[in-house]
Amino acid sequence: MNILQVKNLTKSYDGVKALNDLSVSIQKGVITGIIGPNGSGKSTLVHVLTGMTGFNSGAVVVDERVELETIQPYDVPVYGVTRTFQDVRLFNQMTVLDNVLLTLTERGVFAALFERHTALHEEKARELLEQVNLWQKRHELAGNLSYGQRKLLEIARALAMNTEVILFDEPFAGLFPEIIKLVKQIIKDLRTQGKTVVLIEHNMVLIRELSDELLVLDSGQLLASGDPEVVLQKREVVEAYLGE
């Protein structure tokens, strides 16, 4: 079953097509890797799927039944999608714990700030922070964390949304080996739980290890898709992505 489908999607910036009549499908319950050279449209696709940017034409289909011709950021969780960012986005002047509690109780930022946290919220926050090895840092301000710890906190916030689809935009960039190992396990656990993961990543070792399906974009179009080992051996992929 396809949990997300992109149909003839086009997105232009000043006449340049970042996505050019793109059609791709994301299968439910698997890890789909997305690779491509810089400027191939990877991040633009994620921005579109999460309502961070609009698109000029085409549609996004959710669960093979809801067809969207526009997507707003506040609609995305309703359709079961969340994401992480290349540039980590946290509430730096709030504690690590409050960053997670804010997501668990979110009704809009100001409402969530004044909502009384229940024991259930606090237990779930503890579970998430233990999962990313940040429970001992729970009273630290998010802005005081190391880069790797900030990436982990953002992942915890994404997990707190409890959506069916999580899009990871270069989650391993700049991380130390121990944190890479932890993030890999988190992604594998999501698949075990039946969640759908979309992974944008430049590291081919990680792509091979984690991806069940692979999409290759080039100039805003789908260049190849399928089993990662098969796709990565295709001449057109090697020429476009590896520059050989």
**Enclosing H/E stretch for 95:** none
Q: Which percentage of the chain shows pLDDT scores above 90? A: 72
Give the model's pLDDT for residue 106.
60
**Enclosing H/E stretch for 200:** strand 196-200
Burial code of 117-151, b = ≥16 C-beta within 10 A, e = fewer?
eeeebeebbeebbebbebeebbeebbeebeebbbb
Inform me whether the pLDDT recorded for 116 exceeds 90.
no
Give the model's pLDDT for residue 193.
95
Q: What is the mean pLDDT of residues 103-127?
A: 68
State the pLDDT confidence band at 107, using cuts at 50, 70 and 90: very low
Return mean pLDDT, the chain. 90
Cα–Cα distance for residue pair 74/72, rounded to 1 Å: 6
Domains of the chain: 1-80+166-175+196-244 (3.40.50.300), 87-162 (no CATH)
Model-level pTM?
Answer: 0.90
CA distances from 228 to 135, 214, 224 (A): 36, 5, 10
pLDDT digits (tens, 9 = 90+) for 23-74: 999 999 999 999 998 889 998 999 999 999 999 999 999 988 888 888 888 8
Q: Which percentage of the chain shows pLDDT scores above 70? A: 93
